[in-house]
Chains A and B, each alone.
Chain A
Amino acid sequence: MVRLTRAIEFSSSLRYFRPELPEAENARLFGPCVRTHGHNYRLEVTLRGEPDPVTGMVLDLKDLKVVLEREVEARFDHRDLVLDTPYFEKQVPTPENFALLLHRLVAAALPKGLLERTRLYQDADTFVDVVDPERS
């Protein structure tokens, strides 16, 4: 088995806000994150598999690049996660929720069982890993 990791970077704006809660409760729960702000995200996806005996590759990196551009960059880069995407109407875009979403989107676009781990850096000091439960 070989692991390969490819990274993609993108920038988005966001805020944490639950419309069903009063404003004061949002402020208490989320602090400065209730205000619109932004991050330079870095996503690392790690695939695990056997290299193809002919090509020597687990997956052609060109294909992986296309998947990441379509599933991640096109949806989220230079957009507002809450206002410009349909994914955060019922949940706040914390790195946990965002990483779980990205893991689902990327896994669904790859051959089954290939995606082992998704790591989302929100900034240099904060990151979340989603590890496929079957692999952990």
Chain B
Amino acid sequence: MILSTRRYRFAAAHVLANPALPDDENRRIYGKCANPNGHGHDYGLEVTVTGTVDPVTGSIVPQELLDSIVRERVLDRLSHRMLNADPLFADRVPTAENIALAVRESLEKPLEDAAGVRLVNVRVVETPRNFFDHGEAP
């Protein structure tokens, strides 16, 4: 099995708070991450795909095509934004876990339809000390 991974970056802000819960409960669960005016991270994003290696190009997917799909579907949408305001997070708190899930949902079908590859894993690197995988980590 062959897996191809590209790493991207985006800077975004979020507030970890569930609007259905009272403020003091959010503060208890999320601590300083519940600060109502938000905070932000330089997120790393690793997208891993698998497929067959084209005999002519030698690639699973042309790099520009993969990059353009990730840019259009994810990076342009999330970069330099408050994540809580995005409809992707209307019904879920933008934790790194849920960011990984939302990115996976945003990319799965376009990668299949436009590039003919299967999305295997999405890794969200929130800080140099923590990262989150949604899918089969390589």
Contact = CB atoms under 8 A, between A and B. Distances in A.
Interface residues of A, number: 27
B10 interface: no
Interface stretch (A4-12, A63-71, A91-99, A104-112): A91-99
Which range holds the interface residue count of chain B?
Answer: 10 to 19
A83 interface: no
A122 to B, nearest CB: 10
- Give 9 closest A-B pairs by Cβ, nearest first: A94-B58, A125-B7, A92-B58, A129-B3, A97-B58, A136-B1, A129-B138, A131-B1, A96-B53
17 contacts: A16-B58, A31-B64, A91-B58, A92-B57, A93-B58, A94-B58, A94-B59, A96-B59, A96-B60, A126-B5, A126-B63, A127-B5, A128-B2, A128-B3, A129-B2, A129-B48, A131-B138
Interface of B: 1-8, 48, 53, 55-60, 63-64, 138
* Majority SS at the chain A contact face: mixed
A59 interface: no
A130 B1 contact: yes
